[in-house]
Amino acid sequence: QVQLVESGGGLVQAGDSLRLSCAASGRTFSNYAMGWFRQAPGKEREFVAAINWSVVSTYYADSVKGRFTISRDSAKNTVYLQMNSLKPEDTAAYYCAAGRGILSRRSGDYDYWGQGTQVTVSS
């Protein structure tokens, strides 16, 4: 079993930066893929970014390319999402996910999910 806990969300103004953290505990595997998803009120959950733990490859949604950076610290079993130049449309609950597959933007490819952390960007 894998448990994921997100942190780092908050209320910021447009143009500000924020870094989210996802701490993993329990049974983990070196070939896991870690992803970030977000869901705004009344909207579908959408893919944000993903990273492959062993290969250290990354994958981003077009909406966040150039602004967000996903990274990991293997020693701490933690994945980060550095969010720069935040926009009001980035406002959402952000979820960390883990799966045994390769990098994917599909929710169904992830087996474990955190409870989410809220990011609110005001204009």
What is the residue-level pLDDT of the chain in tens, covering all 123 positions?
889 999 999 999 999 999 999 999 987 666 789 999 999 999 999 999 999 877 678 999 999 999 999 999 988 989 999 999 999 999 999 999 999 877 899 999 999 999 999 999 999
- What span, in angstroms and rounded, lies between the C-alpha atoms of 4 and 78? 9
pLDDT of 100 reads 80
pLDDT of 55 reads 67
pLDDT of 29 reads 64
Read off the DSSP letter of residue 90: G
Decide the pairing of beta strands 117-122 and 10-13: parallel
Read off the DSSP letter of residue 62: T
- What span, in angstroms and rounded, lies between the C-alpha atoms of 58 and 87? 22
- Calculate the CA 27 to chain-centre distance: 19
CA angle 16, 19, 24 (to 5 degrees): 165
